[in-house]
Structure 1
Amino acid sequence: MPPAAGQASRPPSPLKPPRKRRRIVISCTECHRRKQKCDRAFPCSNCIARKKQSACHYENESARKQQLLEEGASTSTDDGGAFSTMKLEGDSAAQVTSFGYASNNSNSNTTLGLFRRIEDHDADTPSVISKPPPSSANNGGLREKYKSLIRQLPSKPYIEKLVDTFFREVNYHNYSIDEAIFRDHLRDWHNLSFSTLNKGPLGLSGDLQFFPGLLFQILALALQFQHGDYDAILDSLKYAAGMSFDDLASDYSESGVQILCLLGKRHTTLVTVQAGFLRTSYLKNCGMITESWHSLSQTIRDAQEIGLHKISADRPARNAQLSAEDVLENMWIDQLRRRVWMILSYWDIHMAIILGRPTTIDSRDGKPVLPIDAPIPKNRRTVAPSLRTEADPPTPLTALLWTVELAAPLWDIYSLEKEDPQHLLWPKVERMHKLINQITLHCPPFFRAQNPDTRFDSHPDCYWLPRARPSLQNGAAFTIMALHRPYIFTHAASRTAALVACLDILRAQRTYFNQLHVKDYKLFSLVINTFDAIVVLAAVYILHPCENREHLDSALQHFEWGMERFQMMSGRNSMAKSALGVLKAIHVRLKKALGPGKIPPTTTQVPTPESYAPSSTSSENRTTSQSSVQNVPSGPSTNNRTIADTPQYTQPTISNLTAPTPPSASAWERFSGNMLPQQNFDFSSMAPLHPMHDLLYNDLSTIGDTQMLDPQLGSMATTDMGIVDTSEAWQFEGDFGNDSFWGFMNSYNP
């Protein structure tokens, strides 16, 4: 239609520019690209789950912080630590991880697994399973509490001195801390500015948030093992008159625990697990075994929270977006994760066997994937983990792997105790003993107790090697003792095998003790293994004094040497002081059982199976290759399988053993006969011995403790033990049943 007359034609209006998006992007770039709900942490939970922490960054940092503050002002929190549960409303209920589901569980049949399948089905839908953002409503209180705790850390020069002590004197015992990785964290911690620390833990990465908790535990253990000629500058750390390093170590360890409790469980990292394990070790050295056992259980739960129990044996897939240096570093971190879980598994079963307590780890989950016995590189960003060669010196990891291999049968021994409460499956015990003996044939030459390969002893990084040999010898003997200990009341052959193993433990402990300094007297292993071995040894001779007479002189000598060691340690080791009184009371009973007129001039010796005899020098010098537990094939279970049919070392498991047959009564009658101290007592009903459990948990003590714990007691001769020889002086008091060894001792008068 033409324009009206006199009306100017209008030019066409220009195109309007596209409207800019007014909503500020506050998600990280990765979540924004993937259209996922971002919790706006740094790094966010989605990037952590995808292992892309390095790619997590925000285009508008100020907008992100402002959004977090606005959300925190309207969010109620509970008392569950820094990362407390949000109040779920509306769609927030879909954030199923806040209900405690395991985010690292690969099982797709759980509720969380179903959510993952829904999310994977529609990649364009925002994530419904991301972790809830941390609330900052109580950020002020959290920040002040966190700052008050980290202020208790000593200054950098003191930290450096104590960290050097820890890695020189302590870490090689369990090797739970990688020194290079730890020092990287320590450098990052020292480089944090005051303004960053002033913002509290929420402004730090996950590892650095928990790092002070780990550092406190390291300082505490370093103080526990200070030499007598320590640097006097460390005295400046004591803030009160009469304060000892043990008091200061207790303060530091408790501060580390408070940091872990303050930060809660929502963002647990490997650093958290390492701090928990060092706390467990510290408590053990303090003689607080009950608290240590609970601490270990909690640490295992923390490790399971971050999926250490789900580590795959396969090499992790390479991320195309990571540099070669980052890939290599991740490979070493994966090795550390395997190492930490292996240590926790070993401690779990070892404490269960010693204390007679349940394990936290379910043995049905399978064996842990072991790390590679790789030499420690100077720069882990340039070298991939590779197996150590024969020319490479051993490392503490080499000793740790061999320790775990020697202790691997403890899981089957633990299961057998539950399977055979009536002690009828002794044929299984015999076969397990023979299979366990095969493990020692594979001992690396530099770990042998007899005629070892000493070419690495002078290596500066192998200063710990001479101490490792008796420690590993002790571990091998402890496995044998643990196998036979439940059967010493009913089977003569088990008494002989347990006795020989106890003597091996005491020999190894004496050799180990002679290599130690006074500062090492706090080591819990110096008491636990010696006490168990002496009690089992004494029980064998008190109840059956006419058996195993060929070992009697050696047994009495090691009994006295063990008490002498406890006497020397009692000033620094509370467990040694408690155990010493019990051993003195047992020694009185042993002397009465073996006294004049108690033993006939000639007695029939109990036959000792060849497999139970002490290892000969020729067998210990045999050249063998090291075997790793994870590489040992498990043969099929068969009723006709014998040791001679096994061409190679097979991991001893209950499924590999021959079906049991009831023990014959003739052996019991032949070896017991008239030798029993009380024939009206049913030894088959006696509860298995767990000496450390009774000492620590059942308040085992003696009436004459105060008189018998004479600090001036010198050499402990058999004829003069400084003990009042009355019936009251060696009565045991404690919370134990009538079917226990201790109850029998109170009613037994040889």
Structure 2
Amino acid sequence: MNTTEETARPPSPLKAPRKRKRIVISCTECHRRKQKCDRASPCSNCVARNKQSLCHYENESARKQQLLEENMSATPVNGGAFSIIKPNESETAAQIAGFGYTKSGGNNNTTLGIFKKIENHDVEAAALISQLPSSIPDHNNGLREKYKSLIRQLPSKQYIEKLLVTYFREVNYQYDPLDEGIFRDHLQDWYNLSFSTLNKGPMELPGDLQFFPALLFQCLALALQFQPLAYDPSLDSLKYAAGMSFDDLASDYSESGVSILSLLGKRNTTLITVQAGFLRTTYLKNVGMVTEAWHSLSSTIRDAQEIGLHKDLFNTRQPDARPEDVLEALWIEQLRRRMWLILSLWDIHMAIVLGRPTTIDVRDGKPPFPIDAPVPKNRRVEAPTPRNETDPPTPLTMLLWSTEISAPLWDIFNLEKEDPHQNNFAKVEKMHKLINQITLHTPPYFRANNPDTSFDSHPDCYWLTRARPTFQNGAAFTIMALHRPYIFTNSSSRTSALRAGLDVLRAQRVLFNLLSSLHYKMFSLVLNTFDAIVLVAAIYILHPHENREDLDDTLQHFEWGMERFEMMSTRNEMAKAALGVLKAIHVRLKRALNVSKDGKTQPQSLKTEYPTPSSQMPTPSAQASISSGSPTAGPSPTTLTTPTSTYTLPTISNLTSPAPVSNAGLTPNSNSAATTPIPANWETFSVPPSFNFSAMQPLQPLHDLVYNDLATGMNVGYETGGWDIGRVGPSGGEGMAAAPWQFEGDFGSDSFWGFMNSYNP
């Protein structure tokens, strides 16, 4: 019977598929993964998966309306057991956060944290405060067109690829701020964006892609700075005006990147934002805009703190996360740690060099160092694993060791504030010994003397030979910075600072020889040399009878340093500005020692004096090791004796003895300091015994050059050793209207520069 009824029943018509009436208010990622979304921006699920850049909503107004209704009807429900990274944030809490209060860190003592407690206690508070006008401006008005006008300035894909090759080979290895694999993924995502998507405006893009053009602009600007003289002629088509140089184009690109960051604001900051800010800082230093670079670095550090790079965030994994997503998140976390490490290193180094405060407070702690892991071919199938001894070093390896040797700079910075009158020399001695211990543990492939060269031929280690003098420079700079405040009051500090300065100059000379003209814009080639030359010159000007065994080496490196600046001055604005100051100091140094025009011969040309690249560094016998500069170490000769060098300048140390020794059989060119008489026309510069050196401000050459408008009249019309310095008076005698070796600038009479101008032998 049932069979008969079923047979007789007419077939029911097919029902039309029911349309979904509920608006999708979850983010696109949670909707795709069928996960419950807390509808925050970004949501806790995307934060846990490190997919903040992909977290966006198709219907933003519906999301806000839904959140508002939920807040008015019930207490907010948390996102479940796995939403511990970021608590569920209501619409009213989001509005309060818009005033600038932090949304991370779990601190409930802030205004936002207290407000959330009130909101959870009384849901009516949410309804009342939700009526407040939103502090977030309407970015859609004009934002889309401004954004499009900026990204139109990007060159075509073929030129981008050519310039990125230069960037990653010549620039990125210096501090390793970008992971090329991650960067290339973002670049491909950018290439894949359709015009219709871009036409909707930047707020419709994932967070990282919004800011990616700013990072790309900065990469292109730095690549243009490092173009060789024999560059690819096809790049000339990027110039849009007659007489335009790559420097002009680089400035345009860098400014466009800044404009994008400014246009998008600070509310959706990502790691891409921080990387773009750091590359902008690098660009500014390369063009000699040091003051602007310092401000740019400070702003970038604030952006990094905004996204929590300064904290070791506890990331919980989603139970349904795919293994490849988890592995990729681990590599991104390593990149976050690396970026914070770079910012910390730059912050303390610029503070020491410029005499400015730091932006980072070390009392806040720091996240763990990144793992020194080899770069994988596919980061989605391999977790970060520490490299072993057989793995070649990477730029990250160099960064980690540079951080180790520069870590005492924080203690040095604090010591300068704790001991403004330079009385705690016992602590200085202890710190010097500890710094030497760090240097002794340097990996063999980074050593300046007798290095392990087994990785030099590795194609990924093309930068390694340049890293050795860079590392030696960093270690010597730390010693020099430690003793610099004490050179006016302590003879042991003068010796240590002098030898550390000579180590810096040796390292700089070797590094310069390993580079080509395309690297002349590197700010480190000027900054480190300038500080070291001024320091060693000041020591000999004020105390010419001390450290006489190192004077020959000092004068030779002074000459070499000025010649390097001459070569770089056409492409490096900072070198051009510093060159005039060095020439004036050179005149003052020779005047202090009263070196006559006829008492010396010109040293050989710089190009013939340099060692060949295969030698890497001068012979060990010519090296003044950092440990030998210890306050407890005795004098040790450091005369340069490389096979290609014949130092022909008269041995000035023979001519500065307190009392002459009668031995008429020797000439001023003799190397015997104990038996050489002092000719009648050679005199020494003596400082009044009553002069109070403890009242002199610590020497900070680059700070004075940048902030105090330190300048001289010696930028033109001067050749090394071309004047009879003994006949130039303090008012610029011998027909000169003014003394070109006088220092001009806004400095006090208690500074080194003021003392040099006011005291004349």
- What TM-score does the superposition give when structure 1 sets the normalisation length? 0.78
Contact 1:30–1:55 at 8 Å: present in 2 too?
no
Structure 2 CA distance for aligned equivalents of residues 175 and 128 of structure 1: 50
For 1:397-476, what aligned pairs fall within 5 Å after superposition? 397-476=396-475
Residue equivalent to 1:576 = 575
Residue equivalent to 1:95 = 95
Residue equivalent to 1:291 = 292
Residue equivalent to 2:674 = none
Contact 2:398–2:467 at 8 Å: present in 1 too?
yes
Structure 2 CA distance for aligned equivalents of residues 121 and 52 of structure 1: 32
Q: String of CA shifts for 1:201-255, please: whole Å, max 9, x gaps.
A: 0111000000000000000000000112211111110000010111000000000
Residue equivalent to 2:106 = 106
Contact 1:699–1:735 at 8 Å: present in 2 too?
yes
For 1:299-378, what aligned pairs fall within 5 Å after superposition? 299-312=300-313, 316-378=315-377
Residue equivalent to 2:752 = 741
Show structure 1 runs of 4+ deviating over 6 A: 19-23, 29-37, 54-58, 68-71, 118-123, 125-136, 612-616, 721-724
For 1:214-613, what aligned pairs fall within 5 Å after superposition? 214-312=215-313, 316-595=315-594, 609-611=631-633
Q: String of CA shifts for 1:523-565, please: whole Å, max 9, x gaps.
A: 0000111010011101100000000001010011001110010
Q: String of CA shifts for 1:474-521, please: whole Å, max 9, x gaps.
A: 000000000000000000000000000000000000000001110100
Contact 1:270–1:306 at 8 Å: present in 2 too?
yes
Q: String of CA shifts for 1:20-41, please: whole Å, max 9, x gaps.
A: 99764534489999998736x6
Contact 1:372–1:385 at 8 Å: present in 2 too?
yes
Structure 1 104/613 Cα, relative in aligned 2: closer, same or farther at 3 Å?
Answer: farther
Structure 1 CA distance for aligned equivalents of residues 232 and 629 of structure 2: 57
Q: String of CA shifts for 1:436-484, please: whole Å, max 9, x gaps.
A: 1100010000000000000000000000000000000000000000000
Q: 1:683 aligns with which of 671, 688, 693?
A: 693
- Name the stretch that deviates more: 236-245 or 94-103: 94-103
Q: String of CA shifts for 1:238-296, please: whole Å, max 9, x gaps.
A: 00001011100000000000000000000000000000000000000000000000000
Shift of 1:109: 1.8
Shift of 1:594: 1.7
Question: One-letter code of the match for 1:289?
Answer: V
Structure 2 CA distance for aligned equivalents of residues 588 and 335 of structure 1: 51
Shift of 1:55: 12
Q: 1:692 aligns with which of 697, 702, 708?
A: 702
Structure 1 CA distance for aligned equivalents of residues 742 and 319 of structure 2: 71
Equivalent pairs: percent with the same residue?
A: 66
Contact 1:95–1:128 at 8 Å: present in 2 too?
no
Residue equivalent to 2:4 = none
Question: One-letter code of the match for 1:448?
Answer: R
Residue equivalent to 1:725 = 728
Structure 2 CA distance for aligned equivalents of residues 133 and 381 of structure 1: 40
Contact 1:216–1:252 at 8 Å: present in 2 too?
yes
Shift of 1:325: 0.4
Structure 1 422/265 Cα, relative in aligned 2: closer, same or farther at 3 Å?
Answer: same
Structure 1 69/735 Cα, relative in aligned 2: closer, same or farther at 3 Å?
Answer: same
Structure 1 101/69 Cα, relative in aligned 2: closer, same or farther at 3 Å?
Answer: closer
Structure 2 CA distance for aligned equivalents of residues 608 and 448 of structure 1: 19
Structure 2 CA distance for aligned equivalents of residues 29 and 578 of structure 1: 54
Contact 2:591–2:725 at 8 Å: present in 1 too?
no
The answer for unaligned runs of 5 or more in structure 1 is: 1-18, 72-89, 598-605, 617-673
Shift of 1:108: 2.2
Find the residue that maps to 1:522 and give its secondary structure: coil
Question: One-letter code of the match for 2:398?
Answer: A
Question: One-letter code of the match for 1:554?
Answer: D
Structure 1 CA distance for aligned equivalents of residues 692 and 549 of structure 2: 27
Structure 2 CA distance for aligned equivalents of residues 54 and 98 of structure 1: 18
Shift of 1:99: 1.5
Question: One-letter code of the match for 1:157?
Answer: Q
Contact 1:534–1:559 at 8 Å: present in 2 too?
yes
Find the residue that maps to 2:580 and give its secondary structure: helix
Structure 1 203/721 Cα, relative in aligned 2: closer, same or farther at 3 Å?
Answer: farther
Contact 2:53–2:206 at 8 Å: present in 1 too?
no
Shift of 1:96: 2.1
Contact 1:119–1:127 at 8 Å: present in 2 too?
no
Contact 1:403–1:475 at 8 Å: present in 2 too?
yes
The answer for unaligned runs of 5 or more in structure 2 is: 1-17, 67-89, 597-627, 639-683, 731-738
Residue equivalent to 1:196 = 197
Structure 2 CA distance for aligned equivalents of residues 438 and 689 of structure 1: 27
Question: One-letter code of the match for 1:725?
Answer: V
Structure 2 CA distance for aligned equivalents of residues 267 and 195 of structure 1: 22
Structure 2 CA distance for aligned equivalents of residues 207 and 250 of structure 1: 24
Structure 1 722/194 Cα, relative in aligned 2: closer, same or farther at 3 Å?
Answer: farther
Residue equivalent to 2:652 = none
Residue equivalent to 2:736 = none
Structure 2 CA distance for aligned equivalents of residues 519 and 239 of structure 1: 23
Shift of 1:359: 0.4
Structure 1 486/527 Cα, relative in aligned 2: closer, same or farther at 3 Å?
Answer: same
Structure 2 CA distance for aligned equivalents of residues 521 and 102 of structure 1: 42
For 1:40-119, what aligned pairs fall within 5 Å after superposition? 44-51=42-49, 53=51, 61=58, 64=59, 67=62, 92=92, 95-115=95-115
Structure 2 CA distance for aligned equivalents of residues 335 and 128 of structure 1: 43
Structure 2 CA distance for aligned equivalents of residues 591 and 285 of structure 1: 31
Structure 2 CA distance for aligned equivalents of residues 34 and 453 of structure 1: 54
Find the residue that maps to 1:450 and give its secondary structure: coil
CA RMSD of superposed structures (Å)? 3.4
Structure 1 119/451 Cα, relative in aligned 2: closer, same or farther at 3 Å?
Answer: farther
Question: One-letter code of the match for 2:425?
Answer: W
Structure 2 CA distance for aligned equivalents of residues 398 and 542 of structure 1: 40
Structure 2 CA distance for aligned equivalents of residues 91 and 447 of structure 1: 54
Structure 1 CA distance for aligned equivalents of residues 221 and 715 of structure 2: 31
Residue equivalent to 1:85 = none
Contact 1:407–1:479 at 8 Å: present in 2 too?
yes
Residue equivalent to 1:75 = none
Q: Which has the higher contact order (CA 8 A, sep 6+)?
A: 1
Structure 1 30/465 Cα, relative in aligned 2: closer, same or farther at 3 Å?
Answer: closer
Question: One-letter code of the match for 2:216?
Answer: L
Structure 1 327/414 Cα, relative in aligned 2: closer, same or farther at 3 Å?
Answer: same
Structure 2 CA distance for aligned equivalents of residues 479 and 572 of structure 1: 28
For 1:642-653, what aligned pairs fall within 5 Å after superposition? none
- What TM-score does the superposition give when structure 2 sets the normalisation length? 0.77
Structure 2 CA distance for aligned equivalents of residues 206 and 91 of structure 1: 20
Structure 2 CA distance for aligned equivalents of residues 393 and 25 of structure 1: 50
Question: One-letter code of the match for 1:739?
Answer: D
Shift of 1:167: 0.4
Shift of 1:106: 2.4
